[in-house]
Amino acid sequence: MPRYALRLRRFTPETRPDAWWQDVEVELDAHRSVLDAILEARERDGTLAIRFSCRAAICGSCGVRVNGRSGLACHTQLGEAAATASGGVIVVEPLGNMPVLKDLIVDMDPVHWAKVASVQPWLVGADPGRELEYEVAHETMVDVTQAMACIQCGACVSDCLSLEVDPAFVGPAALAKAYRFAADPRDADHEGRLRRLAEDPHGLYDCTHCFACIEACPKGVAPMNQIMRLRRMATTDHAIDDGNNGRRHEHGFVANVRRNGLLHEAELLTDSYGGRLHPRTVPVLLESLTAVSRALRRRKVGLRDALGHPHRGRFPEIARYVDEIEGRPERVELNLYVSGYDDEDPGAVASAPSGEDGANAATGPNPRRRRP
Ligand code: FES
């Protein structure tokens, strides 16, 4: 039986003020989980605290960081963890971005649950007096199925880089939950939800597209993708002109790519604020001078690239693509996660890749009308 060395991050405020490391060794098969190893260690030292319940990647209780990456202890095999361990030692720590209560247990209330509660995580019915169920077409629900797969483990919150910089950011888990309701055809408050999140300085536009939440999520929810869908709904479907400049930035970004063939970053700021001469742009340009001069000094960007147009004219077909897509009366949101059409050709379903929980992956088109 293989032996595995583990370094467990301990925090026992009742006896020591600071966190400390405990080294343990366990003898278990490679396919056994990191949670099994932690429980084995707890057999020898009953003071070790870990939260868990189902041991089957369902309840979301056992979120931890293994070798610096957040995930479920019960869903991480020892053999896999050892393969990514530096120096052969599997390092287990509590989740990040949340206060540690004891050992591997974090307080999810102030950061995770409070934010989920803030996005109104329930359906607002159009007719509160209605006694019959709402009937919805199957294909309209396909779009939200991926967000519904979330088990609230907090792995995405733990690895979110925006939350690290701005602890007030609503965060990936809560925003994925917000999409679940904002895109539900039975909900009667789509625009209100989107407007609140778009206007919140710590809301929709606080995500920096770092992909960390997508990599951390053990259930394939891809929270960042749900955030981008919320943005498309806010900007394209509901034309919400937010105070955070999110919609103008999106339009400026597309115009920039259309004009240059590839993104020309030096012009993105002016494009996002309405052009070089727009009164909104001047204070932002002045504010950015410090960052620009620092980037030039540290050679993160060269003068030629900063001021020139390295891509202009090289990809003329891009403008045609943009025009064609933007000229369509409807925007089609494709969900690549779950289909579940009852009458689907069984051969096609069998050949589609499988999502988490045995769901069949396929595209689910969800047309949405554009607003000017
Ligand atoms: Fe339930 Fe790990 S114990 S998800």
Nearest atom, ligand 1, residue 151 CA: 4
Residue 370 pLDDT: 57
Residue 172 neighbours by CB under 8 Å, 6+ apart: 156, 157, 160, 207, 213, 223, 224, 227
Residue 194 pLDDT: 98
Angle between helices 190-199 and 172-182 (to 10 degrees): 150
Lowest mean pLDDT among 60-69, 131-140, 192-201: 131-140
Q: Determine the length of the chain.
A: 372
What are 298-335's pLDDT values in tens digits? 988 777 777 777 667 788 899 999 999 989 888 877 77
Q: Is 39 in the pocket of ligand 1 (CB under 6 A)?
A: no
Residue 359 pLDDT: 40
Given a contact cutoff of 8 angstroms between Cβ atoms, the answer to whether 368 and 333 are in contact is: yes
For the beta carbon of residue 332, count every other beta carbon within 10 angstroms.
Answer: 11
Q: How remote is the CA of residue 155 from the centroid of ligand 1, in Å?
A: 12
Token pair for 31: 């396919």
DSSP state of 335: E
Q: Is 104 in the pocket of ligand 1 (CB under 6 A)?
A: no
What are 103-138's pLDDT values in tens digits? 999 999 999 999 999 999 999 988 878 888 888 887
Query: Tokens 């370094």 correspond to what residue?
Result: 7
Given a contact cutoff of 8 angstroms between Cβ atoms, the answer to whether 66 and 34 are in contact is: yes
Q: How far is the C-alpha of 58 from the C-alpha of 294, rounded, in Å?
A: 47
Given a contact cutoff of 8 angstroms between Cβ atoms, the answer to whether 210 and 159 are in contact is: no
Q: Is 50 in the pocket of ligand 1 (CB under 6 A)?
A: no
Q: Which amino acid, one-letter code, is at 257?
A: V
Q: How remote is the CA of residue 184 from the centroid of ligand 1, in Å?
A: 28
Distance of CA 197 to the CA centre of its chain: 15
Q: Tell me how far CA of residue 233 lies from CA of 76, 198, 263, in angstroms.
A: 35, 10, 23
Higher-confidence residue: 195 or 280? 195
Arithmetic mean of pLDDT, 54-59 = 96
Residue 151 pLDDT: 97
Nearest atom, ligand 1, residue 63 CA: 2
> Percent of the chain having pLDDT more than 70?
90
> Which pTM value belongs to this model?
0.86
Token pair for 177: 């939950």
Q: Cα dihedral sign for 144, 350, 58, 25?
A: negative
Residue 289 pLDDT: 87
Mutate which of 42, 50, 51, 55 for ligand 1 pocket (most atoms within 8 A of beta carbon): 55
Q: Tell me how far CA of residue 272 lies from CA of 137, 194, 207, 268, 343, in angstroms.
A: 38, 20, 17, 6, 46
Mutate which of 39, 62, 108, 356 for ligand 1 pocket (most atoms within 8 A of beta carbon): 62
pLDDT at 237 over 60: yes
**Helix ranges (DSSP H) in the chain:** 34-44, 78-83, 114-118, 138-148, 155-159, 161-165, 172-182, 190-199, 212-216, 223-232, 246-260, 265-272, 281-297, 303-307, 317-326, 346-351
pLDDT class for 280, splitting at 50, 70, 90?
A: confident
Q: Is 8 in the pocket of ligand 1 (CB under 6 A)?
A: no
Q: Is 53 in the pocket of ligand 1 (CB under 6 A)?
A: yes
Q: Is 55 in the pocket of ligand 1 (CB under 6 A)?
A: yes
Q: How remote is the CA of residue 273 from the centroid of ligand 1, in Å?
A: 46
Q: Cα dihedral sign for 169, 171, 176, 177?
A: negative
One-letter-per-residue 3-state SS of 350-367: HHCCECHHHCECCCEEEE
Q: Which domains does the chain have, with CATH numbers?
A: 3-106 (3.10.20.30), 109-243+329-369 (1.10.1060.10), 246-326 (no CATH)
User: Which of 80, 19, 93 lies closest to 50 in space, CA to CA?
Assistant: 93
Mutate which of 61, 66, 77 for ligand 1 pocket (most atoms within 8 A of beta carbon): 61
Q: Which amino acid, one-letter code, is at 86?
A: S
